[in-house]
Each structure stands twice: as C-alpha cells, then as structure tokens.
Amino acid sequence: MQLMQHKICMVTGATSGMGKATAAALAQLGATVILVARDQRKGEVVRDEIRTQSGNPQVDVLYADLASQQAIRDLAATFKQRYQHLHVLVNNAGGLFFRRETTVDGLEMTFAVDHLAYFLLTNLLLDVLTASVPARIINVSSNAERIGKIAFDDLQRKRRYSAFPAYAQAKLGNLLFTYELARRLAGTGVTVNAVTPGPVATSFGSGGRGLRKIVPLVFRVIGIRAEEGAQTAIDLASSPALEGVTGKVFYHSKELQSSPQSRDVALQQRLWQVSETLTGLPVTTAQQL
C-alpha cells in the first residue's frame, strides 16, 4: 500500500512552485489531492499534468482567489460538500507585492493572502480536520519572519508601504498562528507545524517592474529547485516519523529554532484576536473543538 493511500490532502497555491511540487508528491504517494487554484485554466492544466505523471486519478481542483474572504468561505463550503474528511491541509499560497494593493475586503494584499487566508481557511476546515484524526496542518512561512514586525498600529501598512517588511510581517504571522493553533489543538489529534524553506527558484517575487525584475532572477540563481524546497512540507504531510509532532518549525526537514518574537505567547494571542476580528470569525472557533 502506498504511504498516503486513503488520505485526503488540500494544497493551496498548487499551480506553481512549491505548492505544485507538494501536490504532485502527495499524489505520487497515493493521496487524494485537492489543488486550490485561482485560475481555472492553470488549475486544470496542473491537475491533468499531476494525474498523468503520478498515474493517480484522484486529483481534484477547487477554485478560490484567497485574497477574498468570501471566496475562502465558498471554498471551505464546496470542499465539505464533496468530501467528508481532510487529513492534510497545506497552507502554501503566498507572494510578495511590490506595490501596496488592497483586496475586495479592503485589506492590504500581503497580510490578507500570506497570513489571513491561512488563518481563515484553517479555522473553517477545523471541524473536518478534527473529524479525520490523525490530521496535519502545514503552514509555509519564511525565514523573513526573523526581520518581521507585527505593526499593530498600522497592520495594513497604510502609513508607509514597503514590500519586504509587509512580507516579513505576514510570514511572522504564519509562525505566531502556528504556535497558537498548536496550543489550542493540543490533544485533539490535529497537529500543526510550519516550514521555512529558504530561497527556492520559483515564480516568487515576479511581477515587479524596473530594477525589481531582478528579484525572481536572484531567487533562480541562489535558490534550490521547487521539488527540493517542497520536501520539508511533503515530509511534514506524510512522514510516519512526524506523527504527533506539533507546534514546531522545520527547515530542510530539520527542526529549527524560530525567532524569539515568533515564540512570544502574548504576541501570538494578540495576533489571533486581531485576525479573528479581521476575518469575522467567532471568538471560540478553535477552542470549541
């Protein structure tokens, strides 16, 4: 029997880079894989490619622009109509935005896609994850968290916007969320861990103009291949040795000590509360489980 047979896995940002590589590897291991994509054509192409290469027909695609909270709610609802279980959720979709953009919800794009989407989607799927134990959540963060600052007085970066600080704030948010969620889920059989992949040669950082065009080129030169960058998330999703491991951060499949600020419990709780307010989630979602 294949390692992930009978497991249902959802991967966001599955149309490119590490998300695509993670989804392909899980399909190869026999899992049913739900790709989350925002573009229908891309989603279908990647779904067909993974089906063909893995020989696994159990690859599905669901659509959501994760910059929209309504789209995230619809995604969770559609998933629950089609599937009764979810064993692995990989929150991976993210990006770097060179200019300040706002979402349909009026939120700054980096904070919305790279942090709040992880927070909202996970909370909306916690019931189906807890009904599927053992289940695993993997949050793809970044070493940029080390220079991150949660600017509670200007979370939406209205006063001064710069791409890297906004990105670092959101990626620190991923770790604060991971630690707080692990505490809330202790003893439930649902584990949550994070990955900081290091530089990986993907589409990350593309979309800039002028001199900023150099950013993806730098990642292509210094970065490892997407398949290598995805390996830690794949291990966290599938390795029997990691069963029950929770509340940890991994780099190149080894546990990593994340920044002191990411481990600050008061900060974790404060961001959780603010994230609940910004996503309109009921205060007790994770605690009720």
Ligand X SMILES: NC(=O)c1ccc[n+]([C@@H]2O[C@H](COP(=O)([O-])OP(=O)(O)OC[C@H]3O[C@@H](n4cnc5c(N)ncnc54)[C@H](OP(=O)(O)O)[C@@H]3O)[C@@H](O)[C@H]2O)c1
Cβ-contact 136, 188 below 8 angstroms: no
User: What whole-number distance in Å separates Cα of residue 234 and Cα of residue 200?
Assistant: 15
The residue whose two tokens read 């609940």 is 276
Helix (H, G, I), strand (E, B) or coil at 260: coil
User: Which CB sits closer to ligand X, 90 or 135?
Assistant: 90
Please give the residue ranges that form the binding site for ligand X (CB under 6 A).
13, 15-19, 38-39, 42, 65-67, 92-95, 113, 140, 142, 197, 199-200, 202-204, 219, 223
User: Which CB sits closer to ligand X, 69 or 142?
Assistant: 142
User: Which CB sits closer to ligand X, 111 or 219?
Assistant: 219
User: What whole-number distance in Å separates Cα of residue 152 and Cα of residue 129?
Assistant: 30
Q: Has 83 been annotated as catalytic? A: no
12 DSSP assignment: E
Q: How far is the CB of 275 from ligand X (least distance, A)?
A: 17
**Rounded (5°) CA angle 178-179-180:** 95
Name the active-site residue from 118, 167, 179, 251. 167
**Rounded (5°) CA angle 117-268-187:** 85
Tell me if the bond preceding 134 is cis, omega within 30° of 0.
Answer: yes
Find the helix or strand (DSSP H, E) in which 5 lies.
Answer: none
User: Which CB sits closer to ligand X, 202 or 275?
Assistant: 202
Q: How far is the CB of 93 from ligand X (least distance, A)?
A: 4
Q: How far is the CB of 271 from ligand X (least distance, A)?
A: 17
Q: How far is the CB of 113 from ligand X (least distance, A)?
A: 5
Phi and psi at 178, nearest 5°, equal: -60, -50
Closest residue to ligand X using C-beta atoms: 17
Q: Which residues are identified as catalytic?
A: 167
